[in-house]
Structure 1
Amino acid sequence: MTPLYTRHKRSTLAIATAVAAGALLATGLTTGPAAAQTPADTTAKAPLAAAPLQLSAGARASLVEERQADATETAQEIGLGAKEKLVVKDVLKDTDGSVHTRYERTYAGLPVLGGDLIVHQSATGATRGVTKAVKATIKVASVKPQIAAAKAEKQALTVAKDAGSAATAADAAPRKVIWAGDGTPVLAYETVVGGLQDDGTPNQLHVITDAASGKKLYEYQGIETGTGKSLYSGTVTLNTTLSGSTYQLYDTTRGGHKTYNLARSTSGTGSLFTDADDTWGTGAASSSSTDQTAAVDAAYGAQATWDFYKSTFGRNGIKNNGVAAYSRVHYGNAYVNAFWDDSCFCMTYGDGSSNTHPLTSLDVAGHEMSHGVTSNTAGLNYSGESGGLNEATSDIFGTGVEFYANNASDVGDYLIGEKININGNGTPLRYMDQPSKDGASANYWSSTTKNLDVHYSSGVANHFFYLLSEGSGAKTINGVSYNSPTYSGSTVTGIGRAKALQIWYKALTTYFTSTTNYKSARTGTLSAAAALYGSGSTEYNAVASAWTAVNVT
């Protein structure tokens, strides 16, 4: 998971070999079917041949099974070595019948980190191309380490301590892997340091150590950060479930989403929110650890995000398998963050300053759950430029959710976290039209972008998306004034948010890999625009212009 904003220290860490997880930071309820969401941007609704086809959970599972059964043959066809095997991660089918299968790789039985690839096939099954995270041949001289696992573990703990950990403890051994994320495959250890970071966010610090020299090769954070009367969205319609004589905050119409109360705890699932009369929350902030209002916002955000992905892209839940994640509110004490965690497949929200500013606004909810979508598609590494693209993807789709919901109390805008007052002065957390207005984010790409915290390097992609959607210069949208500059002083004409969203989603799910950087993101989005609208189309040329305007050429 990743935090919503950047942190400085970490504390109370433990070792675990876990899966990756993301965070948002560097009142009366009427039940029954949820009110229909009305998209604010209704352009680009005509079927597109290369747009993803909405698949039932069963149809998707059948495709995954078919592709896995053919994995050995596919590996041979695309020229992989005898020691390499493919494991299907995801399958997407386009309206025209084309199929895009995303694979993870193993070598001599070891997972290849940075070895993911996508095979593109026509409707007839002919392979049309392969998109790889790394072009190098996967081969190492030996899979026998020259250093002990304990040395790699010690190094990982040192990295954690240097980052500000007050205490560390080991509870699982490092695992052997092939590290290919830097281009040249090497035998390595992956150690995951768990516990808590300085602000109370769970920690999943992945440290990659060369198994021959003991040198640290890479590190990244696995935690990605950020009718009820809601605090931010007014009176909303929620789906609840009657169990006996008690109502539960349990939405069976959207994959079984449930909202739980952690009541200040930082672990476990918590208790499911229940109510006797099916009227939830007060619409006002409260410091109570049993307050329902934060839960109303979380549940509403979950249903809006589910509906956005399904209506806009035909995606059936975060994993595209019809199964919902769950939400937890009232995490920790005055915890000023929110995060997505793959290991629990859940969203978690703190109550903010004085426990009265919960981070449960609509764009935050969409942001956090979109980390789950990224994890289950491109799997963008949460470090360097790929980490910035990961964060930007959550900002982009969180913005999409906000516009889609068309909520009068929280109108769509290109500001991130404007409702939660994280800065204490009414300003938003991030600005998509001119990212540098937050004092730290990058408007344009440079050779040092990769060195920024991912919440700041994301500014380049956020700026690209705004320019692609709305264009450059001064304008007012939904009452908010914007004035987006360009690197070269060029003028960019936007193509509309709906088309920009389609292009970004297509690129994320079909052309981005775990190691995608800004240069390859330009290539991927151009490929997406060509597939959706045609090479040389207005949309294609706008993508090129918007990237040039943020100095990605």
Structure 2
Amino acid sequence: MHKILFVFVVGARKINAKHRAMETMRKRSLNGLNKRTTAETELNPTDLLNLPKDESLQNVYQSNSAVGTKIEKMRQTYKGTPIFDAVVAIEIDKNGKLTGDASGMFVEGIQEDLPSAEPLITEEEALQIALKSENDVKFRRKLTNVKTEHYIYLGDKERAHSIYYVRYFISESKTPRRQAFIIDTKSGQILRKWNDLQTASCGARTYKAYGGNEKMGKIKYGETPYCLEPTIVGNMCFLENEFVRVIDMESTRDDSKNDTAKFECSKGYDDEVNGAYSPAIDAFFYGTQVGKMFREWFGSTPLREKVIIRVHYGSNMENAFWDGETTSFGDGQSTFYPLTSADVVGHEIGHGVTEQASGLVYHGESGGLNEAFSDILGEATEKYFKNNDMKVGDDIKKEGIFRDFRDPEIDGSSVGHVEDFHDSMDPHYSSGVYRRVFFVMIIQKGISIKQAVKVLLQANRVYWRERSGFEDAGCGVIKASYDVGQNPTPYVRALDDVGVTACDASHHIRAVETNVTYSDLTVSNEVKPLFRFNSPNWADVVTVRAASGSGDVKITLRVGTWQDDEVAREDLKIIEEGYNLVNIDRIANEVIYIEFSLEGENEYNDVSISVGYTCLEGYSGNDMQEYRLDCQS
């Protein structure tokens, strides 16, 4: 049987609570990959993991950190076939060398279970097996967004299987569904299946456009902050721009409809329904806000392609969903107004973000995490252009509570602590755990929504995997906070609030070597890169330098176990601070935490730093050999 190995940045190997039963398995030594080292290596990741010749690592995503390194997300493959849920994040310096820091999960011993990964059934045969299991054969010609991907998958008893990951969307049944299946490519057996439908510049005003609903009031677009950005050709306004395109489904589920919604600019879009003044205009505006937010806050786009929004989907449908390619919004009926509010539009686009980032499967803890990330992105969408309310869909729910961040349990179904979670929970309700985490981050710990979502997005894109659970995801959040130059302490405390014990990621802090210049750092009043320096026993005066062609950089030096501090690293023992150059006398045998920051609203992207020290004269100790090599060579 193959073995599962977890790679962590801590000195000792940590096992996710869900995998403790595997403690008796043979472990492979990970050498330099299970802790931060200061020695850089020329070895590639495959060599360091000691993978056999049939296995390798494939780059799937790359991100720049605030400390001048790149974080590469890599998926393990076996005989050229990707392994489901087996991804490792590896840090590389600007010269392309490994720093020695990695985390994630990979698998060994696949050959014992699976000598060959070649399928014995075709993709079409696998699809037919899936259709028959759901009595959907009659809809074969009407399926959309059909995806069949070949993976190696760990099934029951952790046995390796060659599988097809089959998904399709079907709108013709009574309720729209996006079915997902794990099908063994040798036997045709369905190993697992689930419903994967993941729900729920102004210039001159030259058009007439209104939105909103009876609950939130009527919105007049074209006036700040509701600046609409349609494409105008003559007197026609098209609901398309660089960020989003809207399709009016005209109360049908006709997937052949693909025309961009348009209207005569002087007359407005006449689609008032169920107490809402124009769901098409609302969806277009909020989708545009998501795109602008990603560009301005995160320097990226939400999806690889332009976001497609389908409005007036079906007849009185009280739902909204992501089907793998597009977002769709119903007009509601008795429970909801049309589901085109800011947070619901952001939520559905969020499902697309997750599918293209970590691919969190829509069941169990990973399903709750998937839903929570979408709820969080909905809140960020509200905050980006106006104000958020820490509630989900409050503007479109006609009566009562929909979902809440502060008190997830208030809806009668959600949970706000890991102890209350069970595997059969609907992801909408298990999402309460990380909804509560987000609330604590923002309201109790004072993190801005922009910075919190930046960290969660980094975690989703780099550290989370298909089956990441609450604990595993929390570890990714802590590491992501380092990557983007934020203090991890508030994130640790927010996770603790819901019963998630954050991993000790202190070794994820980049260690600096003496007399080496680290350049191209990003520094601002919010992005504060943190490094550590281990001063030897014979250190006399330690010198830290920072330089930028843009201006002065503040240097703050601390000692202590800052991660255990309840407030933040600012309350730890400051041993020295200053600008551009700082000297510390007699600071031997200490771990010094070095933070770089700015005051004001500026951001510098050209910061270089270095650390050095002088040797104590007349030093004597048990480590004299190292002392002589360092100080007398």
User: Taking structure 1 as the reference length, what is the TM-score of the superposition?
Assistant: 0.70
Matched, 1:240 2:230: yes
Matched, 1:296 2:269: no
1:466 CA displacement: 0.5
For residue 377 of structure 2, what is the aligned residue in structure 1?
397
Distance 1:133 1:224 in 2: 26
Matched, 1:349 2:349: no
Look up the SS of the partner of 2:192 in the other structure. Answer: strand
Cα distance change of structure 1 residues 108 and 144 upon mapping to structure 2, 3 Å threshold: closer
- Across the aligned residues of Structure 1 and Structure 2, the Cα RMSD in angstroms comes to 3.4
Distance 2:91 2:468 in 1: 17
1:265 CA displacement: 2.3
Deviates more, 1:91-100 or 1:307-316: 91-100
Cα distance change of structure 1 residues 523 and 336 upon mapping to structure 2, 3 Å threshold: same
1:417 CA displacement: 0.5
For residue 338 of structure 1, what is the aligned residue in structure 2?
320
Contact 2:88–2:463 under 8 Å retained in 1: no
Letter in 2 for 1:362: A
Structure 1, unaligned runs of 5 or more: 1-71, 472-492
Deviates more, 1:524-533 or 1:72-81: 72-81
Letter in 1 for 2:260: L
1:204 CA displacement: 2.8
Cα distance change of structure 1 residues 159 and 436 upon mapping to structure 2, 3 Å threshold: farther
Letter in 1 for 2:301: N
Which of residues 224, 227, 230 in structure 1 aligns to 2:211?
Answer: 230
1:530 CA displacement: 3.3
Which of residues 390, 393, 409 in structure 2 aligns to 1:436?
Answer: 409
Cα distance change of structure 1 residues 97 and 246 upon mapping to structure 2, 3 Å threshold: same
1:470 CA displacement: 0.9
Look up the SS of the partner of 2:198 in the other structure. Answer: coil
1:433 CA displacement: 0.7
Distance 2:249 2:288 in 1: 20
Letter in 1 for 2:104: K
1:184 CA displacement: 4.5
Alignment of 1:7-86 (within 5 A): 75-76=46-47, 78-86=49-57
Distance 2:147 2:338 in 1: 37
Q: Deviations over 1:297-343 (max 9, x none)?
A: 01111111112222222223423xxx52221111111111111233x
Look up the SS of the partner of 1:264 in the other structure. Answer: strand
Contact 2:65–2:483 under 8 Å retained in 1: no
Letter in 2 for 1:459: G
Distance 2:105 2:367 in 1: 14
For residue 389 of structure 2, what is the aligned residue in structure 1?
413
Matched, 1:543 2:498: no
For residue 81 of structure 2, what is the aligned residue in structure 1?
110
Which of residues 161, 166, 180 in structure 2 aligns to 1:186?
Answer: 161
Q: Deviations over 1:89-125 (max 9, x none)?
A: 3322234432223344442243422233333222222
Letter in 1 for 2:245: K
Cα distance change of structure 1 residues 174 and 325 upon mapping to structure 2, 3 Å threshold: closer
For residue 130 of structure 1, what is the aligned residue in structure 2?
102
Matched, 1:505 2:457: yes
1:249 CA displacement: 1.7
Letter in 2 for 1:326: I
1:133 CA displacement: 4.4
Cα distance change of structure 1 residues 83 and 135 upon mapping to structure 2, 3 Å threshold: closer
Q: What is the identity percentage for the equivalent residue pairs of Structure 1 and Structure 2?
A: 24
For residue 328 of structure 1, what is the aligned residue in structure 2?
310
Look up the SS of the partner of 2:418 in the other structure. Answer: coil
For residue 261 of structure 2, what is the aligned residue in structure 1?
273
For residue 424 of structure 2, what is the aligned residue in structure 1?
451
Letter in 2 for 1:91: Q
Look up the SS of the partner of 1:271 in the other structure. Answer: coil
Contact 2:126–2:188 under 8 Å retained in 1: yes
Contact 2:238–2:260 under 8 Å retained in 1: yes
Cα distance change of structure 1 residues 292 and 318 upon mapping to structure 2, 3 Å threshold: farther
Which of residues 496, 521, 532 in structure 1 aligns to 2:473?
Answer: 521
Matched, 1:262 2:243: no
Deviates more, 1:513-522 or 1:148-157: 148-157
Contact 1:378–1:514 under 8 Å retained in 2: yes
Contact 2:66–2:485 under 8 Å retained in 1: no
1:157 CA displacement: 4.4
For residue 71 of structure 2, what is the aligned residue in structure 1?
100
Q: Deviations over 1:204-250 (max 9, x none)?
A: 32221345676543334343212621125712221122335422122
Larger radius of gyration: 2
1:463 CA displacement: 0.7
Cα distance change of structure 1 residues 73 and 498 upon mapping to structure 2, 3 Å threshold: closer
1:86 CA displacement: 4.5
Contact 2:55–2:77 under 8 Å retained in 1: yes
For residue 316 of structure 1, what is the aligned residue in structure 2?
301
Q: Deviations over 1:176-212 (max 9, x none)?
A: 53114775532234443542486532x3322213456
Cα distance change of structure 1 residues 213 and 91 upon mapping to structure 2, 3 Å threshold: same
Structure 2, unaligned runs of 5 or more: 1-42, 201-206, 222-226, 502-633
1:519 CA displacement: 0.9
Q: Deviations over 1:325-375 (max 9, x none)?
A: 221111111111111233x3x221111117982110000111111112112
For residue 250 of structure 1, what is the aligned residue in structure 2?
240
Q: How many residues align?
A: 435
Contact 1:444–1:460 under 8 Å retained in 2: yes
Letter in 1 for 2:134: A
Distance 2:323 2:149 in 1: 21
Deviates more, 1:99-108 or 1:523-532: 99-108
Look up the SS of the partner of 1:231 in the other structure. Answer: strand
User: Taking structure 2 as the reference length, what is the TM-score of the superposition?
Assistant: 0.61
Distance 2:150 2:416 in 1: 39
1:295 CA displacement: 0.9
Distance 1:197 1:452 in 2: 27
